[in-house]
Protein backbone atom coordinates (compact mmCIF):
# COMPACT_ATOMS: atom_id res chain seq x y z
CA UNK A 1 0.00 0.00 0.00
CA UNK A 2 1.36 3.43 -0.94
CA UNK A 3 -1.51 5.81 -0.29
CA UNK A 4 -4.22 5.72 2.39
CA UNK A 5 -6.84 8.09 3.77
CA UNK A 6 -7.87 8.94 7.32
CA UNK A 7 -11.10 10.48 8.59
CA UNK A 8 -12.80 11.30 11.88
CA UNK A 9 -16.54 10.80 12.15
CA UNK A 10 -19.46 11.12 14.59
CA UNK A 11 -19.12 13.15 17.80
CA UNK A 12 -15.65 14.65 18.21
CA UNK A 13 -13.63 13.14 21.05
CA UNK A 14 -10.49 14.40 22.80
CA UNK A 15 -7.61 12.31 21.46
CA UNK A 16 -8.87 12.14 17.87
CA UNK A 17 -6.14 14.61 16.90
CA UNK A 18 -3.49 12.49 18.58
CA UNK A 19 -4.72 9.53 16.50
CA UNK A 20 -4.57 11.57 13.26
CA UNK A 21 -1.02 12.67 14.13
CA UNK A 22 0.00 9.08 14.77
CA UNK A 23 -1.39 7.84 11.42
CA UNK A 24 0.30 10.67 9.49
CA UNK A 25 3.71 10.46 11.16
CA UNK A 26 3.97 6.68 11.34
CA UNK A 27 2.65 6.47 7.77
CA UNK A 28 5.39 8.88 6.68
CA UNK A 29 8.05 6.81 8.47
CA UNK A 30 6.83 3.76 6.55
CA UNK A 31 6.66 5.51 3.16
CA UNK A 32 2.88 5.64 3.07
CA UNK A 33 1.26 8.83 1.81
CA UNK A 34 -1.62 9.87 4.08
CA UNK A 35 -4.59 11.85 2.78
CA UNK A 36 -6.84 13.61 5.30
CA UNK A 37 -10.56 13.52 4.53
CA UNK A 38 -12.21 16.68 5.86
CA UNK A 39 -15.67 16.48 7.45
CA UNK A 40 -16.04 12.74 8.06
CA UNK A 41 -17.98 10.54 5.63
CA UNK A 42 -19.49 13.63 4.04
CA UNK A 43 -15.98 14.73 2.99
CA UNK A 44 -15.50 11.33 1.46
CA UNK A 45 -18.59 11.73 -0.71
CA UNK A 46 -17.62 15.31 -1.63
CA UNK A 47 -14.01 14.28 -2.29
CA UNK A 48 -12.69 16.72 0.27
CA UNK A 49 -9.18 15.26 0.31
CA UNK A 50 -5.93 16.91 1.49
CA UNK A 51 -2.50 15.29 1.72
CA UNK A 52 -1.01 15.45 5.24
CA UNK A 53 2.70 15.64 6.04
CA UNK A 54 4.39 15.29 9.46
CA UNK A 55 4.64 19.08 10.00
CA UNK A 56 0.91 19.49 9.22
CA UNK A 57 0.12 17.58 12.41
CA UNK A 58 2.47 19.44 14.77
CA UNK A 59 0.99 20.60 18.07
CA UNK A 60 -1.95 18.21 17.81
CA UNK A 61 -1.32 15.82 20.70
CA UNK A 62 -2.68 18.24 23.28
CA UNK A 63 -5.52 19.63 21.18
CA UNK A 64 -9.16 18.58 21.75
CA UNK A 65 -11.71 18.14 18.96
CA UNK A 66 -10.63 17.06 15.49
CA UNK A 67 -8.70 19.18 13.00
CA UNK A 68 -10.09 17.02 10.19
CA UNK A 69 -13.60 18.13 11.19
CA UNK A 70 -16.41 15.63 11.59
CA UNK A 71 -20.05 15.04 10.74
CA UNK A 72 -22.94 12.70 11.41
CA UNK A 73 -24.52 11.56 8.19
CA UNK A 74 -27.21 9.00 7.43
CA UNK A 75 -26.46 9.33 3.71
CA UNK A 76 -23.65 6.82 3.98
CA UNK A 77 -26.15 4.01 4.69
CA UNK A 78 -27.01 4.08 0.98
CA UNK A 79 -25.12 1.51 -1.13
CA UNK A 80 -24.99 3.96 -4.02
CA UNK A 81 -23.20 6.51 -1.85
CA UNK A 82 -20.81 3.85 -0.57
CA UNK A 83 -19.92 2.92 -4.15
CA UNK A 84 -19.43 6.58 -5.02
CA UNK A 85 -17.00 6.86 -2.08
CA UNK A 86 -15.01 3.87 -3.33
CA UNK A 87 -14.90 5.41 -6.83
CA UNK A 88 -13.62 8.65 -5.31
CA UNK A 89 -10.85 6.75 -3.58
CA UNK A 90 -9.91 4.80 -6.67
CA UNK A 91 -9.73 7.93 -8.81
CA UNK A 92 -7.13 9.32 -6.35
CA UNK A 93 -5.24 6.00 -6.07
CA UNK A 94 -6.17 5.70 -2.39
CA UNK A 95 -5.88 2.05 -1.39
CA UNK A 96 -7.21 1.97 2.17
CA UNK A 97 -8.98 3.99 4.86
CA UNK A 98 -8.68 4.50 8.62
CA UNK A 99 -11.92 5.52 10.34
CA UNK A 100 -11.53 7.18 13.75
CA UNK A 101 -14.90 7.20 15.51
CA UNK A 102 -17.59 5.37 17.46
CA UNK A 103 -20.59 3.22 16.67
CA UNK A 104 -22.08 4.98 13.64
CA UNK A 105 -18.64 5.57 12.16
CA UNK A 106 -17.58 1.94 12.43
CA UNK A 107 -20.81 0.97 10.60
CA UNK A 108 -19.25 2.87 7.66
CA UNK A 109 -16.09 0.81 8.16
CA UNK A 110 -18.16 -2.39 8.05
CA UNK A 111 -20.10 -1.26 4.95
CA UNK A 112 -16.99 -0.35 2.91
CA UNK A 113 -15.06 -3.45 3.94
CA UNK A 114 -18.03 -5.62 2.84
CA UNK A 115 -17.59 -4.00 -0.58
CA UNK A 116 -13.94 -5.14 -0.56
CA UNK A 117 -12.45 -1.74 0.11
CA UNK A 118 -9.80 -2.12 2.89
CA UNK A 119 -10.77 -0.23 6.05
CA UNK A 120 -9.52 -0.28 9.64
CA UNK A 121 -11.24 1.47 12.54
CA UNK A 122 -9.94 3.24 15.63
CA UNK A 123 -12.37 3.13 18.59
CA UNK A 124 -13.14 6.71 19.56
CA UNK A 125 -16.19 8.12 21.34
CA UNK A 126 -16.64 9.81 24.71
CA UNK A 127 -19.56 7.42 25.39
CA UNK A 128 -17.28 4.34 25.62
CA UNK A 129 -20.13 2.25 24.21
CA UNK A 130 -18.30 0.20 21.61
CA UNK A 131 -18.45 -3.57 22.12
CA UNK A 132 -15.14 -5.42 22.45
CA UNK A 133 -13.03 -2.62 23.93
CA UNK A 134 -12.65 -1.60 27.56
CA UNK A 135 -11.96 2.00 26.55
CA UNK A 136 -12.53 4.25 23.58
CA UNK A 137 -10.48 7.37 22.86
CA UNK A 138 -12.06 10.40 24.56
CA UNK A 139 -13.87 8.62 27.38
CA UNK A 140 -11.17 9.22 29.99
CA UNK A 141 -11.02 12.95 29.19
CA UNK A 142 -14.82 13.28 29.20
CA UNK A 143 -15.08 11.60 32.60
CA UNK A 144 -12.31 13.80 33.98
CA UNK A 145 -14.09 16.88 32.61
CA UNK A 146 -17.29 15.74 34.35
CA UNK A 147 -15.42 15.07 37.60
CA UNK A 148 -13.86 18.55 37.62
CA UNK A 149 -17.27 20.13 37.11
CA UNK A 150 -19.00 17.99 39.74
CA UNK A 151 -16.27 18.70 42.32
CA UNK A 152 -17.00 22.41 41.87
CA UNK A 153 -20.74 21.83 42.19
CA UNK A 154 -20.09 19.95 45.43
CA UNK A 155 -18.56 23.11 46.95
CA UNK A 156 -21.86 24.91 46.36
CA UNK A 157 -23.92 21.92 47.51
CA UNK A 158 -22.04 21.69 50.81
CA UNK A 159 -22.00 25.43 51.48
CA UNK A 160 -25.76 25.77 51.00
CA UNK A 161 -26.78 22.31 52.24
CA UNK A 162 -28.45 21.99 48.88
CA UNK A 163 -28.93 18.82 46.84
CA UNK A 164 -27.93 18.62 43.18
CA UNK A 165 -28.86 16.56 40.16
CA UNK A 166 -26.04 16.57 37.61
CA UNK A 167 -26.86 15.32 34.12
CA UNK A 168 -23.99 13.81 32.16
CA UNK A 169 -23.69 12.65 28.55
CA UNK A 170 -23.51 9.10 27.23
CA UNK A 171 -26.45 8.97 24.79
CA UNK A 172 -28.27 5.73 25.70
CA UNK A 173 -25.47 4.30 27.85
CA UNK A 174 -24.32 4.95 31.42
CA UNK A 175 -20.54 4.59 31.26
CA UNK A 176 -19.74 8.28 31.85
CA UNK A 177 -22.33 8.43 34.65
CA UNK A 178 -20.99 5.42 36.56
CA UNK A 179 -17.34 6.50 36.48
CA UNK A 180 -18.04 10.12 37.31
CA UNK A 181 -20.44 9.14 40.13
CA UNK A 182 -17.85 6.88 41.78
CA UNK A 183 -15.08 9.41 41.42
CA UNK A 184 -17.10 12.29 42.91
CA UNK A 185 -18.77 10.34 45.71
CA UNK A 186 -22.29 10.74 44.34
CA UNK A 187 -25.05 9.29 46.51
CA UNK A 188 -27.19 8.06 43.64
CA UNK A 189 -26.49 7.26 40.00
CA UNK A 190 -29.17 6.75 37.36
CA UNK A 191 -28.26 4.95 34.15
CA UNK A 192 -30.35 3.72 31.22
CA UNK A 193 -29.22 0.12 31.70
CA UNK A 194 -30.88 -0.20 35.15
CA UNK A 195 -34.54 0.71 35.69
CA UNK A 196 -34.77 3.07 38.60
CA UNK A 197 -37.41 3.17 41.28
CA UNK A 198 -38.39 6.70 42.25
CA UNK A 199 -39.74 5.45 45.61
CA UNK A 200 -36.28 4.09 46.43
CA UNK A 201 -34.62 7.39 45.52
CA UNK A 202 -37.01 9.34 47.80
CA UNK A 203 -36.43 6.82 50.62
CA UNK A 204 -32.67 7.10 50.15
CA UNK A 205 -32.80 10.91 50.38
CA UNK A 206 -35.10 10.81 53.46
CA UNK A 207 -32.81 8.35 55.23
CA UNK A 208 -29.82 10.52 54.37
CA UNK A 209 -31.55 13.53 55.90
CA UNK A 210 -32.20 11.53 59.08
CA UNK A 211 -28.51 10.63 59.14
CA UNK A 212 -27.77 14.38 59.00
CA UNK A 213 -26.40 14.35 55.45
CA UNK A 214 -26.08 17.98 54.38
CA UNK A 215 -27.02 17.29 50.80
CA UNK A 216 -27.45 14.60 48.17
CA UNK A 217 -25.64 14.40 44.89
CA UNK A 218 -27.42 12.55 42.10
CA UNK A 219 -25.59 11.87 38.84
CA UNK A 220 -27.98 10.99 36.05
CA UNK A 221 -27.11 9.82 32.56
CA UNK A 222 -28.94 11.78 29.86
CA UNK A 223 -30.35 8.49 28.55
CA UNK A 224 -31.91 7.53 31.91
CA UNK A 225 -33.98 10.65 32.66
CA UNK A 226 -33.50 14.35 32.09
CA UNK A 227 -32.34 16.11 35.24
CA UNK A 228 -35.12 18.73 34.99
CA UNK A 229 -37.81 16.00 34.93
CA UNK A 230 -36.25 14.25 37.90
CA UNK A 231 -36.08 17.55 39.79
CA UNK A 232 -39.84 18.04 39.31
CA UNK A 233 -40.60 14.51 40.53
CA UNK A 234 -38.42 14.88 43.63
CA UNK A 235 -39.81 18.35 44.43
CA UNK A 236 -43.36 17.03 44.22
CA UNK A 237 -42.57 14.42 46.89
CA UNK A 238 -40.02 16.06 49.18
CA UNK A 239 -39.55 19.48 50.65
CA UNK A 240 -35.83 19.94 49.93
CA UNK A 241 -33.74 22.52 48.20
CA UNK A 242 -32.54 20.95 44.98
CA UNK A 243 -30.78 22.35 41.91
CA UNK A 244 -29.96 20.99 38.47
CA UNK A 245 -26.81 21.22 36.40
CA UNK A 246 -26.67 19.80 32.87
CA UNK A 247 -22.98 19.49 32.01
CA UNK A 248 -23.43 19.17 28.24
CA UNK A 249 -20.66 19.74 25.72
CA UNK A 250 -17.96 20.83 28.18
CA UNK A 251 -17.54 17.10 28.74
CA UNK A 252 -16.56 16.58 25.10
CA UNK A 253 -14.01 19.35 24.64
CA UNK A 254 -10.59 20.21 25.95
CA UNK A 255 -7.13 18.78 26.01
CA UNK A 256 -6.98 14.96 26.16
CA UNK A 257 -5.66 13.22 29.26
CA UNK A 258 -2.41 11.26 29.27
CA UNK A 259 -4.42 8.04 28.84
CA UNK A 260 -6.33 9.27 25.79
CA UNK A 261 -3.15 10.60 24.14
CA UNK A 262 -1.40 7.29 24.65
CA UNK A 263 -4.20 4.97 23.51
CA UNK A 264 -4.87 7.25 20.52
CA UNK A 265 -1.22 6.96 19.44
CA UNK A 266 -1.17 3.19 19.95
CA UNK A 267 -4.59 2.42 18.41
CA UNK A 268 -3.71 4.43 15.29
CA UNK A 269 -0.34 2.71 14.91
CA UNK A 270 -2.02 -0.70 15.10
CA UNK A 271 -4.74 0.27 12.63
CA UNK A 272 -2.12 1.45 10.14
CA UNK A 273 0.02 -1.66 10.58
CA UNK A 274 -2.97 -3.96 10.06
CA UNK A 275 -4.21 -2.02 7.03
CA UNK A 276 -0.79 -2.25 5.35
CA UNK A 277 -0.68 -5.98 6.07
CA UNK A 278 -4.06 -6.58 4.45
CA UNK A 279 -6.34 -6.31 7.48
CA UNK A 280 -9.84 -4.92 6.95
CA UNK A 281 -13.25 -4.63 8.63
CA UNK A 282 -11.78 -4.45 12.13
CA UNK A 283 -11.70 -1.86 14.89
CA UNK A 284 -8.69 -1.34 17.16
CA UNK A 285 -9.46 -1.20 20.88
CA UNK A 286 -8.02 -2.31 24.22
CA UNK A 287 -9.00 -5.31 26.34
CA UNK A 288 -7.31 -6.26 29.63
CA UNK A 289 -4.47 -3.84 28.83
CA UNK A 290 -3.77 -5.41 25.43
CA UNK A 291 -4.41 -3.70 22.10
CA UNK A 292 -7.00 -5.85 20.29
CA UNK A 293 -8.74 -6.10 16.93
CA UNK A 294 -12.52 -6.29 17.04
CA UNK A 295 -14.58 -7.34 14.00
CA UNK A 296 -16.37 -4.12 12.96
CA UNK A 297 -19.65 -6.04 12.67
CA UNK A 298 -19.42 -7.14 16.34
CA UNK A 299 -18.33 -3.70 17.51
CA UNK A 300 -21.44 -2.08 16.07
CA UNK A 301 -24.06 -4.78 16.60
CA UNK A 302 -23.25 -6.23 20.01
CA UNK A 303 -24.15 -4.48 23.25
CA UNK A 304 -21.31 -3.72 25.67
CA UNK A 305 -22.20 -4.52 29.30
CA UNK A 306 -21.75 -2.05 32.11
CA UNK A 307 -19.49 -3.06 34.96
CA UNK A 308 -22.11 -4.05 37.52
CA UNK A 309 -19.67 -4.17 40.45
CA UNK A 310 -18.75 -0.54 39.82
CA UNK A 311 -22.45 0.31 39.71
CA UNK A 312 -23.23 -1.50 42.97
CA UNK A 313 -20.40 0.04 44.95
CA UNK A 314 -21.90 3.54 44.56
CA UNK A 315 -24.80 2.65 46.86
CA UNK A 316 -22.63 0.92 49.48
CA UNK A 317 -20.06 3.67 49.66
CA UNK A 318 -22.61 6.43 50.08
CA UNK A 319 -23.96 5.37 53.52
O1 LIG B 1 -21.74 10.45 21.15
C2 LIG B 1 -21.21 11.51 21.88
C3 LIG B 1 -22.31 12.42 22.36
O4 LIG B 1 -21.72 13.53 23.01
C5 LIG B 1 -23.36 11.77 23.27
O6 LIG B 1 -22.92 11.61 24.58
C7 LIG B 1 -24.50 12.72 23.12
O8 LIG B 1 -25.74 12.12 23.41
C9 LIG B 1 -24.41 13.09 21.66
O10 LIG B 1 -23.07 12.89 21.27
C11 LIG B 1 -24.80 14.49 21.32
O12 LIG B 1 -24.82 14.57 19.95
P13 LIG B 1 -24.65 15.91 19.11
O14 LIG B 1 -23.21 16.29 19.18
O15 LIG B 1 -25.06 15.52 17.73
O16 LIG B 1 -25.53 16.93 19.75
- Name which residue sits closest to atom 10 of ligand 1, judged by CA: 11
**Does any ligand 1 atom lie closer than 6 A to the CB of residue 187?**
no
User: Is 116 in the active site?
Assistant: no
Atom of ligand 1 nearest to the CA of 251: 4
Could you write out the DSSP letters of every residue in the chain? --EEEEEE-SS--TTHHHHHHHHHHHHHHTT-EEEEETTHHHHHHTT-EEEE-GGGGTT-TT--S-TT-----SGGGSHHHHHHHHHHHHHTT--EEEEEESHHHHHHHHHHHHTT--EEEEEB-TT---TT-S--BTHHHHHHHHHHHHHHHHHHHHHHT-EEEEEE--TT--HHHHHHHHHHT-SEEE-TTS---HHHHHHHHHHHHHTT-S--EEEEETTT--HHHHHHHHHHH----EEEEE-GGGGT-SPPPHHHHHHHHHHHHHHHHHHHTT--SEEEEEETTEEEEEEHHHHHHSPPPP-HHHHHHHHHHT-
pTM beyond 0.95: the answer is: yes
Q: Which domains are seen in the chain, by residue range?
A: 3-138+256-301 (3.40.50.450), 142-252 (3.40.50.460)
Instruction: Answer yes or no: is the C-beta of 171 below 6 A from any ligand 1 atom.
Output: yes
User: Which of 42, 127, 128, 304 most suits a substitution to test ligand 1, by most atoms within 8 Å of the C-beta?
Assistant: 127
Query: Which pLDDT tens digits describe the chain residue by residue (319 residues)?
Result: 999 999 999 999 999 999 999 999 999 999 999 999 999 999 999 999 999 999 999 999 999 999 999 999 889 999 999 999 999 999 999 999 999 999 999 999 999 999 999 999 999 999 999 999 999 999 999 999 999 999 999 999 999 999 999 999 999 999 999 999 999 999 999 999 999 999 999 999 999 999 999 999 999 999 999 999 999 999 999 999 999 999 999 999 999 999 999 999 999 999 999 999 999 999 999 999 999 999 999 999 999 999 999 999 998 898 8
Atom of ligand 1 nearest to the CA of 13: 2
Ligand 1 in reach of 167 Cβ (< 6 A) = no
Amino acid sequence: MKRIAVLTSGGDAPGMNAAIRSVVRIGFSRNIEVIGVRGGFRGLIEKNFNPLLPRDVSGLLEKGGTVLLTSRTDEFKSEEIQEKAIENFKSEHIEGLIVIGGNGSQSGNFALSKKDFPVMGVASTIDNDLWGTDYTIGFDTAVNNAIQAIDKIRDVATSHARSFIVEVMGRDRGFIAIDSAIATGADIVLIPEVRFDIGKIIKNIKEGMEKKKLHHLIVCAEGAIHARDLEQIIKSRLDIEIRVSVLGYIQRGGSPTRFDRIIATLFAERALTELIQGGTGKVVGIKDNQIVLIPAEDAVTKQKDINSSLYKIIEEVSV
